[in-house]
Structure 1
Amino acid sequence: MTQPPHDEPTASTPEELREQVEQTRAELGETVEALAAKTDVKARARQKGAEVKEQAADRAQEVKEQAAERAQVVKEQAAERAQVVKEQAAAKAEQFKAKAADIAHQAQDRLPDPVTDKAAQGARLAQDNRKVLWAIAGTTVVLWAILRRSKR
Structure 2
Amino acid sequence: MTQDKPHTGDEATPATDEPRAQVEATREELGETVEALAAKADVKTRAEEKTAQAQAQLRDKASHVVHVVQDKTPEPVREKAGQGLQAARANRAPLLAAAGALIALLLIRRSRKHR
Length-normalised TM-score, structure 2: 0.52
1:105 aligns with 2:54: no
Rounded Cα–Cα distance in structure 2 between residues aligned with 1:99 and 1:110 = 16
Cα offsets for 1:82-127 (capped at 9, x unmatched): 3332332222122112111111111111111110111122223333
- Tell me the CA shift for residue 147 of structure 1: 0.5
1:126 matched residue in structure 2? 88
Question: 1:104 is aligned with what amino acid?
Answer: V
1:88 aligns with 2:50: yes
1:144 aligns with 2:106: yes
Rounded Cα–Cα distance in structure 2 between residues aligned with 1:82 and 1:143 = 43
Question: 1:145 is aligned with what amino acid?
Answer: L
Rounded Cα–Cα distance in structure 2 between residues aligned with 1:127 and 1:82 = 40
Rounded Cα–Cα distance in structure 1 between residues aligned with 2:96 and 2:46 = 35
Rounded Cα–Cα distance in structure 2 between residues aligned with 1:82 and 1:136 = 43
CA distance change for structure 1 residues 84 and 127 in 2, over 3 Å: closer, same or farther? farther
User: Which moved further from structure 2: 134-143 or 112-121?
Assistant: 134-143
Which runs of no fewer than 5 residues in structure 2 stay unpaired? Answer: 1-38
| % identical aligned pairs | 35
Count of aligned positions: 74
Q: 5 Å matches for 1:1-152?
A: 80-152=42-114
Larger-gyration structure (1/2): 1
Length-normalised TM-score, structure 1: 0.41
**Greater helix fraction, Structure 1 or Structure 2:** 1
Which runs of no fewer than 5 residues in structure 1 stay unpaired? Answer: 1-76
- Tell me the CA shift for residue 139 of structure 1: 1.8
| CA root-mean-square deviation | 2.3
Question: 1:85 is aligned with what amino acid?
Answer: A
Higher relative contact order (CA 8 A, sep 6+): 2
Question: 1:101 is aligned with what amino acid?
Answer: S
CA distance change for structure 1 residues 112 and 128 in 2, over 3 Å: closer, same or farther? same
